Every structure is written in structure tokens, then in C-alpha cells.
A and B are shown apart, each in its own frame.
Chain A
Amino acid sequence: MLQLKKLTKTYKTGDQALKAIDLEVPKGQVLALIGPSGAGKSTMIRCINRLVEPSSGEVLLDGVDLARLGSGALRKARREMGMIFQEYALVERLTVMENVLSGRLGFVGFWRSFLRKYPQPDVDEAFRLLDRVGLLHMADKRADELSGGQRQRVGICRALIQNPKLLLVDEPTASLDPKTSRQIMRLITELCRERGLAAIINIHDVALAQMFVPRVVGLRFGEIVFDGPPTGLTSEKLTEIYGEEDWEATIEKVDDSDDIEAAE
């Protein structure tokens, strides 16, 4: 469904963030993108929905090359891709409900969105999603009154209300504590399964990635150095991605129990 062909990004400073990336993501597959800071994970995700303009190469979504779209067509294409951010990136001074509904901005006209008069199906869907992530009672709270985990749930709702084919997830757990991180990762992967969504989850916590996703792609200096199931992530492979370190402890954590969340 999503295909990257020779995707390259060179910043104005001359740094090559991505070096001719080739990647294919089939429908409904969730994959984790791991790699050290500065490996180009964030750049790659942003090149797909063109928050960052790729320098060359193709980004094919259902056969359409996103890299060549004009601004109107690009907006239509962006509706197909929901994005979840590291620091939640909620509009802090708007209510939770407005933040969720802002996911529909690509579908409604300016005045409708300005006057907050969204179509009833959108409002119902927003309520349903908030209920699904357990935040229905927070709908009229302002986003800056929420805790980190709650904010990220709102961020997930905002991405899902777009009814996308693909989720682009940029470090969803980087600002969360370990327990909340797992809950959020579980929520994202569950929702992807329910809706048959493909997702690229950019994550730096290897153990967390191994715990939840069937496919891992390792990035180092803008090149793919690993692509396979989490079980293939051996100590040598991790060393290749991240550099020399004792990886045994990280790998063993994979079969950690999940019963902490059972209490939720």
C-alpha cells in the first residue's frame, strides 16, 4: 500500500538525513522504526506526509506519488494519513473535543470549522473515539489540563477520526512514563488491528517495539540496516544499529509480563 522508492532527503546544511530509502508497507501491517537519535526516523515519517519536503525519490500511497502532488491534492492525500506526535502536539488552548474534531479539518470547509459546526456524524464519531480511549468525560476540558497519557490518547483520537489508511506515529511514548508508554503502545496497536490500519511507529525504546509489533526496521545514518521480525533483533544486529553496548538485558525484557495493565 505504501511504497518508498529511493527516498532521499538532504537538508540545506548538507546533512544527508535519508539515503535512498526503499521500503514497502502492506495494508494493515504495523511496523516499528528504530534507530539512534539522528538516524533519520523522524525525517522519514515527515517525508511521507511532506511536513518535510523530500529531496528526491517517490512516496507511493496506493500507487499515487505523494512527492509530486500540488498543494490541493496533497491536502487530500494527508487526510489518508493520520499522524501522532512525540509531545502530543495538541492545540493546548482548545478543548479536547475541538482537538479531536480538528482531525476532520481536511473534510469540512473553513467557515464550518471556524464556527465549530461539524457534521453530526463527525461529532458522533468523536464521542465514540473518546469513549473508546476512556476520555469521554473529559470532552469539554481544555487540552492543557490533561496528563501526558491522556493527551496522547486525544492525539490518537485526532489521528483516527481522519479515518486514515495509514498511521504515522512519531515517538509516541518519548515523554511518558514506562507504564503509560505500554498502555499507549497497546492502544495504538489494538486500534490498528481493529481497523485494519497500517502504521509506521517511530520509537527509540527497542524493548517496547519488540513487545508490540510484528516487523521492525532499523535505521542508521539514513540507511536501512535491518528489516525483519523482532526475534531477528540479535545482539549483533542492535550493535550494528546503535553501536557497541551490552544488549542482553534489553532483549530479555521482551517476555516481560503484561499484568500491570490488567488492573486498569
Chain B
Amino acid sequence: MAVNTTRPASSRTASVGDARPRKETGGSRSRAAVRYGVLLIGAFVFLFPFYYMLIGSLQAEPDSSPSGAFPAPGNLTVANYSEIDRAIDLVQSLINSGIFTGGVILCTVVFGLLAGYALAQLEFRGRGVLFNTMLLVQVVPFQLLTVPLYVLIVRDYGLADNHLGMILPYAINSTAVFIFRQYFLQLPRELFDAARIDGAGELTILVRVAVPLVKPALLTAVLLTFIGPWNEFLWPFLITKQADMQPLAVSLANYMSNVAARAANPYGAILAGACVLAAPAVALFLIFQRRFVSSNLGSSVKG
């Protein structure tokens, strides 16, 4: 927490608003009304589907009339959750999602920190090339690579229905490497030189000195990395055919497109599954939302 790189931006945020001349005139009050009106309409449009997802998942009978948007005591049930659990084995799906996401986060943190540290603080041949490649990678659409990756990983390496095959294409998140580099760059060089004079090896410096100083970056990078594999559909969908290997996004999608039509309350079951899939990402984001401030993303795109 010592090197507080995220604070300046957020304090600037507040000061921009406060510093504006604020006269209590009728004009400024009506402008504020319009502003909050726009913001509220926006909030409704963004949040209503989430509310409706939860309400729909608790309805015994799907009620899509306008009154169905309010909880009706006689129509509430948790049967949809047991229905979706019976159909796709939620626990196994969540475990698979967890292994996929956990593996990606682990690789990103270990190898990403090493790469980010080297890119920021060590000098070696090819550093510039690697940095430019890292930026280029972020604009290569993954979809173009899906077919060759499918051939390589499924056909050549035989990693279909395998967690390793799922993790491999996502293993190191380049945006996270970029964030690590940016934060390591902000650390004072004397710090490292002093540690080196004391005889510390680079790995020790990285683990003992540098990483503790960039904890905020670590959290941001982990959160950003989490969203990718947890929500990813296309790649795990391509390489998993066995139901017991599928992450929740894939098993829920398969339920939606194949099985749902035969269920008693297909929408209820789908929405129950959707709530389970959405909950971890939404919860993590709400808890740590201070780490998602614009300055982090801004710095990662401004370069």
C-alpha cells in the first residue's frame, strides 16, 4: 500500500467535480436534474436485466407480464435451482470453471510477474521487440486462432476434454503482464540497486521487494484475468465434449440450446443457472470495485 499509484487519479476525480464553479442557480439545478435523469435511465437499463434474472430464477411459473417483474409471494420457489443442478451438475461445472480460471490466474501471476519485472527493470536483448509484440497480441482476434489451436491442441496434442488444453491458450494474460510492467516501472530504481548491492539475487528482489510493493496491481490483474476464463464460452465449448469436463458457461449454454425445451420451466432453470454463473464475477467485482477504477484501465491502454 506504500506506493499508492491508483490514488492520485481517484482524488483527481473528486477534485474535478468539486472544483467546478457551483452556483445554486435554477440553470445548474435543472442541469443536475437532467444529468441524474440520464444516469438513472442508464442504471435502470443496465441493472434491470440482472434483477429480472434473479426474479425469473425464483418463479415457479414463468410470468412475463409486467406484474411478473415484481416478486409474487405465491409464485416463489427454489425448484429451478435444483432443476438446473439435476440437468447439468452445478458443482462439477463450478469445479471445472474454478480449475480453468485458477490455472489461468496462477500462470498469469507467476509467469506474468517474471515477464513484467524483466520488461520494466532488467535490460536484455529483444526487450523492445517483446514489448511491441505484447501490445500487438492484444489486437489479434482470438477467434482467428481458434481453428489452428483446435487442430494443434485437440488433434495433435490430444488435449481434448482436458483442463490443460482448456488453460493453455489463456495461460498468460497479456493485459496483466502489461499492468505488472507499468507498476514495476514506477518503483524507484535506487531501491533495486540498493538490494543488489546488499547481494540479493534478482528473484529474491522480485519476490521480497518488488511484489509486496505492487500488491494493488496484483489484485487488479487477478480480477481482470478472472473475468476472461470464467466467462469464456467458445474455447472450452470447442474442446470439451464430455459433460463432466465442461465449465459452467459451456454446460449452461448446452442446456440452453439442447435440453431446455423439454424442461417444465425452461426459463426458470436457465435463469437459475445464469445466476449461479454470474454471481462470482458480480460479487468479486462489487467487493473489489475500487480496483476497477478508470485509472487502471486508462494506464493499461494509454501506454
Asked if A and B are interacting partners, one says no
